């Protein structure tokens, strides 16, 4: 029984990392209506930036480093959209052009990361912590902070989408961008802001992924991307709340399943969930018209 | 044989192999509009199955399935068919209701999982170590050594490539190819003309995967070994780049694409010595260069370096047509009316 | 709700129905787009489907052609229930449609756009491509001849080797209709064939529609321009808020004061409520 609680506990940690990243991916998908296949590499850049700050001569506190990494990736996402992705999306009507461009961007960024930081496995400079008992669960302080960050971020996004003008404009654009444009929403500004938020969440997600996995490699973001895809597809592509729920389902399922099978097949579990979702609920738990 | 000639034959082999890979992806993506981001997975299945079928019983700590010592080209063909079967499973699961990007997401996930699974599940294809010592076709029978095998097998691959080109050009020039391209341009409008778009896409997926499998099989028979380092998901992008650079929907352009992208950017850099202290940097730079090249081609020449050739009607001019049929023309010139 | 009967059908129109739908419902999200539409299209007629914006005309066309599935209701082609058939099978039965925005196959030439539409295509089977090339060649030869004469008839012959994506808006519209004709329809659904084209071309398309009728094709067309409807259509179906408001002849509908007041007036004056 205690093993099960341990697994559930770690599942919640994974779900937190997933939720941050999946919501970041979904926010951008909702606005631009295409999947960013370079999202995993955005995460890697965030992870390595905070690694350099954290372990370099500056010895920045890991959480501060995480935030700086996130902000940097946010700015990078805005610039990449402004000068690369948006021009392609404007010029070509066919979806596959822009998808290939993001796919190509992922190749460029992955190799950029490994040329700058090398291929060796890196770790953050975090002291070893004794796990604390919380009810039946067992968490380290860092894991609790990660869960806390995810909860705060999800609440913040919820309030932004439901209570602020900007958030409402975002939802309007996501539902119908032509209508939003004619109804006086500054779509350019909203698009830029969305890319920034998506990049910010990718950067933070990359760092917390590195913290919870206790390792950073150039490819870990790309590998994780497809667990994010599983969460997003389970929840319904483009649905923010779907991404949150999908993250919890996939996070818990992969960790609990690891009790019964060899943990090296965790990825296959995530994929099995993705396939089941496709078979039984192809448009996701929170499907939205026109997005699938 | 001088090392240079040896290299050239090696490069020639890779051009032929990548042509086959490119034609397969071109049928799926260039003609069928299917964004198969898992293409390299189908190549890998062909390579593993061909290798495991050509090898004898596992020995010396190796482990893999099959081990039937099948002769060339039986293993190769079965490798292609194995990729086909896998494609059938994937297509039936995903084709019916998925939008382009949804499908691409599922496929890219699939290639990662396949990668992970083959890497971890040692009894299947040797795990991360992969297959080694795959017999060189005809090497024993003809008494070939390492030096003579390379030019010999480059020649064999040329023959295979020529055969596959002939088969492919019949497909793309047929009414089947035409309807497939129609579904690429607008699937709903094509369905409204009475075409079962799913069937056309499925067939193009299967044939393209067969090409992927055969290309992979040739690579394993040439190299004698295959493992997960040979098919990182980024390799799919390489073949996409070759297709796009060579010209989407253009079989001849593929030869140029196969020369420029995989050979120039990945095979050639392997022969450039590493910069001391920066292992792998050259390969990283080559990969980035491919990404940038592809974006530049997409922007400046979206139809590829050699654009898709127009399939002309070869109908006579209107005046001649009427001379032959004797009909009276009440034809208004289109420019005037529209 | 049933449509008010506006008197017997005129003798020129056969009472046989080529296409009919019964109690079609369709909602998107919470919004009801079609709410019980019921009507039939007389065989051999040119029938107009009219109604204000938001009446659900295009949705009905999409449901009739099978591009969209309805939430409930039935679609019949003659005596055959085609409700469950996907769009490509309906097309094979002779139910061919065009789209409101021209959907040219841009990466094909104009000629190929027509060739794709040919009904008999042994060359679409790869078995035939390799094993029976003679059969494929013969079918292609027949289709070529047919395509050539249709292209000529629609004034597109000189553009035959242009990429379809390079055509002007009006040319794309003609291509769309000629491609539908190439598919040998017994029943043609035209979704606003006159939208956004110049008056000369409107007359020309009208002429082509009459040619089709003469050749025995039943036509159902969505149309906004009532002048056009009066000129070329012999039968009208009025749709409002997803329901069939009335069916009959244009002249009969004009005499129906309810319809005029409630509906046609608004359309004629250009007062569109949504």
β-pair partners for C31: C28
β-pair partners for C34: C26
The answer to whether C26 and C239 have CB atoms below 8 angstroms apart is: no
Residues from chain B contacting residue C88 (CB–CB below 8 Å): 191-197
Q: State how far the Cα of C163 lies from the Cα of C109, in Å rounded to an integer.
A: 4
Is position B18 within any domain? yes
Output the pLDDT for position B325.
Answer: 52
pLDDT in tens, C128-163: 999 999 999 999 999 999 999 999 999 999 999 999
> Residue B332 has what DSSP assignment?
P
Q: State how far the Cα of B327 lies from the Cα of B182, in Å rounded to an integer.
A: 32
Kindly report the nearest CA distance between residue C259 and chain B, in angstroms: 34
Q: Which chain C residue has the Cα nearest residue B33? A: C107
Output the pLDDT for position B92.
Answer: 84
Output the pLDDT for position B301.
Answer: 86
Output the pLDDT for position A196.
Answer: 97
% residues pLDDT > 90 (chain A): 52
Chains that contact B by 3+ CB pairs under 8 Å?
A, C
Is position B126 within any domain? yes
Name the E strands within A14-163.
Answer: 132-134, 137-139
pLDDT in tens, C52-96: 877 889 999 999 999 888 999 999 999 899 999 999 999 999 999
pLDDT of C183 above 90:
yes
Q: Which helix (H) or strand (E) holds B45?
A: helix B39-54
Q: Which of B:162-201 have CB within 8 Å of C? A: 170-171, 174-176, 178-179, 181-182, 184-186, 188-197, 200
Please report the DSSP string for chain C in residue order: --PPP-SPPPTTS-SSEEEEEEEEEEEETTEEEEEEEEEEEETT-EEEEE--TTSSHHHHHHHHHTSS--SEEEEEETTEE-TT--HHHHHHTTEEE--SS----TTSBHHHHHHHH-S--GGGSHHHHHH-HHHHHHHHHHHHHHHHHHHHHTT-GGGTTSBGGGS-HHHHHHHHHHHHHHT--SEEEEESTTTT--HHHHHHHHHHHHHHHHTT-EEEEE-S-HHHHHHH-SEEEEEETTEEEEEE-HHHHHH-HHHIIIIIHHHHTT----
Task: Return the number of CB contacts < 8 Å for A and B.
Answer: 121
Q: Name, in order, each residue with C-beta under 8 angstroms of B305's C-beta and a sequence gap of 6 or more.
A: B245, B246, B247, B253, B256, B257, B297
| pLDDT band per the 50, 70, 90 thresholds, residue A291 | very low
**Region A277-284 average pLDDT:** 76
Q: Which of B:208-267 have CB within 8 Å of C? A: 249
pLDDT in tens, A221-248: 988 998 999 999 888 877 889 999 999 9
Q: State how far the Cα of A39 lies from the Cα of B284, in Å rounded to an integer.
A: 19
Residue of C78, C82, C80 lying closest to C24 (CA atoms): C82
Note whether B106 contacts A267, CB cutoff 8 Å.
no
| pLDDT band per the 50, 70, 90 thresholds, residue A68 | very high
How many domains are contained in chain B? Answer: 1
Q: Which of B:191-210 have CB within 8 Å of A? A: none
- Residue A155 or residue B60, greater confidence: A155
Residue tagged 């029984």 (tokens):
A1
Per-10-residue mean pLDDT, chain B, length 338: 83 93 94 91 96 88 85 93 94 75 83 88 88 86 84 95 95 96 92 94 96 96 90 83 85 87 77 75 86 90 80 87 54 42
Domain edges within chain A: 2-280
Output the pLDDT for position C259.
Answer: 64
Domain that residue B57 falls in: 3-232
Q: State how far the Cα of B212 lies from the Cα of B204, in Å rounded to an integer.
A: 12
% residues pLDDT > 70 (chain A): 95
| pLDDT band per the 50, 70, 90 thresholds, residue C246 | confident
Which residue of B104, B111, B228 is the best one to mutate when testing the A interface, meaning the one whose CB has the most A CBs within 10 A? B104
Residue of B196, B188, A178 lying closest to C100 (CA atoms): B188
Note whether C103 contacts B186, CB cutoff 8 Å.
yes
Kindly report the nearest CA distance between residue C121 and chain B, in angstroms: 7
pLDDT of C253 above 80:
no
| pLDDT band per the 50, 70, 90 thresholds, residue C271 | very low
CA torsion B265-B270-B272-B274 (nearest 10°) is: 120
Note whether C156 contacts B334, CB cutoff 8 Å.
yes
Output the pLDDT for position B254.
Answer: 87
- Give the tokens for residue B33: 């509009």
B17 CB-side CA count, 13 A? 26
Q: State how far the Cα of C271 lies from the Cα of C274, in Å rounded to an integer.
A: 9
Q: φ, ψ for residue C34 (rounded to 5)?
A: -130, 135
pLDDT in tens, C193-243: 988 888 899 999 999 999 999 999 999 999 888 888 888 998 999 888 888
Interface contact B294, partner A, CB < 8 A: yes
Q: State how far the Cα of A55 lies from the Cα of A64, in Å rounded to an integer.
A: 12
Burial class (CB in 10 A: 0-12, 13-18, 19+), B199: middle
pLDDT in tens, C119-130: 999 999 999 999
User: What separation, in Å, do the N-terminal and C-terminal C-alpha atoms of chain C show?
Assistant: 22
- Give the tokens for residue A153: 């971020």
Q: Distance of alpha carbon B226 from its chain centroid, rounded?
A: 17
Note whether C109 contacts B313, CB cutoff 8 Å.
yes
What's the CATH architecture for A2-280?
Orthogonal Bundle (1.10)
Residues from chain B contacting residue A107 (CB–CB below 8 Å): 234, 237, 287-288, 290-291
- Give the tokens for residue B152: 């010999």
Domain C1-104+184-274: give its CATH superfamily: P-loop containing nucleotide triphosphate hydrolases (3.40.50.300)
Output the pLDDT for position A175.
Answer: 77
A174 CB-side CA count, 13 A? 19
Residue B155 to residues B25, B60, B129, B222, C179, Cα–Cα distance (Å): 23, 32, 29, 11, 47
Q: Name, in order, each residue with C-beta under 8 angstroms of A279's C-beta and a sequence gap of 6 or more.
A: B93
Q: Which of A62-66, B263-267, C4-8 has the highest mean pLDDT?
A: A62-66
């Amino acid at each position: 029984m205690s093993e099960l609680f341990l697994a559930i506990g770690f599942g919640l940690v994974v779900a937190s990392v997933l939720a941050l990243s999946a919501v970041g991916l979904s926010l951008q998908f909702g606005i631009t209506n295409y999947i960013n296949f370079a999202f995993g590499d955005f995460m890697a850049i965030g992870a390595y930036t905070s690694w350099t700050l954290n372990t370099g001569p500056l010895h920045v506190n890991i959480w501060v480093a995480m935030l700086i990494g996130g902000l940097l990736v946010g700015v990078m996402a805005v610039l990449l959209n402004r000068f690369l992705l948006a021009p392609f999306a404007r010029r070509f009507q066919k979806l596959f052009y822009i998808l290939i461009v993001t796919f190509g961007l992922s190749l460029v960024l992955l190799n950029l990361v490994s040329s700058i930081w090398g291929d060796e496995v890196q770790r953050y400079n975090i002291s070893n912590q004794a796990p604390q008992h919380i009810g039946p669960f067992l968490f380290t302080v860092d894991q609790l902070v990660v869960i806390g960050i995810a909860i705060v971020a999800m609440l913040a996004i919820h309030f932004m989408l439901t209570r602020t003008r900007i958030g409402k404009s975002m939802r309007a654009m996501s539902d119908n961008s032509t209508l939003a444009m004619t109804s006086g929403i500054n779509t350019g500004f909203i698009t830029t802001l969305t890319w920034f938020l998506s990049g910010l969440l990718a950067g933070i997600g990359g760092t917390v992924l590195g913290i919870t996995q206790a390792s950073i490699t150039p490819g870990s973001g790309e590998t994780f991307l497809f667990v994010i895809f599983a969460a997003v597809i389970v929840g319904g592509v483009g649905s923010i709340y779907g991404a949150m729920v999908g993250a919890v389902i996939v996070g818990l399922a992969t960790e609990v399943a690891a009790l019964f099978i060899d943990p090296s097949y965790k990825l296959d579990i995530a994929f099995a969930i993705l396939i089941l979702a496709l078979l039984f609920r192809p448009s996701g738990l929170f499907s939205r018209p026109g997005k699938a | 044989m001088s090392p240079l000639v040896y290299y050239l034959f090696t490069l020639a082999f890779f051009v032929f192999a990548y042509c086959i890979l490119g034609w397969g992806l071109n049928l799926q993506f260039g003609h069928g509009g299917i964004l198969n981001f898992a293409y390299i997975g189908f190549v890998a299945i062909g390579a593993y199955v061909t290798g495991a079928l050509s090898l004898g019983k596992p020995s010396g700590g190796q482990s893999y399935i099959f081990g039937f010592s099948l002769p060339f080209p039986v293993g190769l063909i079965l490798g292609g068919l194995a990729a086909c079967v896998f494609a059938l499973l994937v297509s039936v699961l995903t084709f019916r209701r998925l939008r382009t990007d949804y499908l691409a997401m599922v496929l890219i996930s699939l290639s990662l999982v396949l990668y992970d699974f083959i890497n971890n599940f040692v009894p299947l294809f040797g795990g991360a170590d992969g297959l080694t010592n795959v017999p060189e076709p005809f090497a024993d029978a003809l008494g070939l050594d390492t030096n003579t095998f390379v030019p010999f097998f480059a020649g064999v691959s040329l023959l295979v490539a020529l055969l596959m080109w002939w088969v492919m050009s019949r497909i793309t020039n047929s009414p089947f190819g035409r309807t497939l391209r129609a579904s690429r341009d607008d699937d709903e409008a094509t369905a409204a003309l009475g075409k079962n778009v799913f069937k056309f896409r499925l067939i193009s997926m299967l044939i393209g995967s067969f090409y992927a499998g055969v290309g992979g099989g040739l690579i394993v028979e040439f190299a004698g070994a295959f493992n997960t380092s040979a098919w990182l998901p980024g390799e799919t992008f390489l073949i996409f780049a070759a297709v796009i650079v060579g010209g989407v929907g253009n079989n001849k352009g593929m030869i140029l694409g196969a020369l420029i992208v995989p050979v120039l950017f990945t095979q050639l850099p392997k022969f450039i010595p590493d910069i001391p202290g920066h292992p792998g940097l050259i390969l990283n730079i080559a990969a980035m260069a491919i990404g940038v090249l592809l974006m530049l081609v997409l922007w400046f020449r979206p139809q590829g370096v050699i654009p898709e050739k127009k399939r002309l009607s070869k109908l006579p001019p209107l005046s001649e047509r009427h001379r032959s049929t004797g009909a009276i023309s009440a034809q208004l010139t289109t420019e005037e009316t529209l | 709700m049933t449509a008010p009967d506006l008197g017997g059908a005129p003798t020129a129109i056969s009472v046989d129905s080529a296409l009919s739908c019964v109690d079609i419902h369709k909602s998107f999200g919470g919004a009801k787009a079609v709410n019980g539409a019921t009507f039939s299209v007389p065989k051999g007629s040119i029938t107009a489907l009219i109604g204000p914006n938001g009446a659900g005309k295009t949705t009905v066309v999409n449901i009739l052609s099978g591009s969209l599935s309805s939430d409930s209701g039935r679609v019949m082609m003659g005596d055959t229930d085609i409700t469950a058939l996907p769009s490509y099978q309906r097309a094979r039965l002779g139910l061919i449609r065009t789209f409101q925005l021209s959907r040219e196959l841009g990466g094909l030439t104009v000629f190929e756009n027509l060739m794709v539409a040919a009904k008999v295509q042994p060359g679409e089977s790869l078995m035939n491509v390799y094993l029976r090339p003679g059969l494929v060649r013969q079918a292609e030869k027949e289709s070529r001849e047919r395509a050539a004469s249709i292209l000529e008839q629609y004034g597109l012959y000189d553009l035959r080797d242009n990429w379809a994506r390079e055509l002007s808006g009006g040319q794309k519209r003609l291509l769309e209709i000629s491609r539908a004709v190439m598919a040998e329809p017994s029943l043609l659904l035209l979704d606003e064939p006159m939208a956004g084209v110049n008056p000369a071309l409107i007359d020309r398309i009208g002429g082509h529609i009459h040619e089709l009728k003469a050749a025995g094709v039943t036509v159902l067309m969505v149309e906004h321009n009532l002048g056009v409807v009066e000129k070329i259509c012999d039968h009208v179906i009025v749709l409002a808020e997803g329901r069939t408001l009335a069916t009959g002849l244009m002249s009969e509908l004009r005499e129906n004061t309810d319809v005029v007041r409630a509906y046609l007036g608004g359309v004629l004056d250009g007062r569109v409520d949504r």
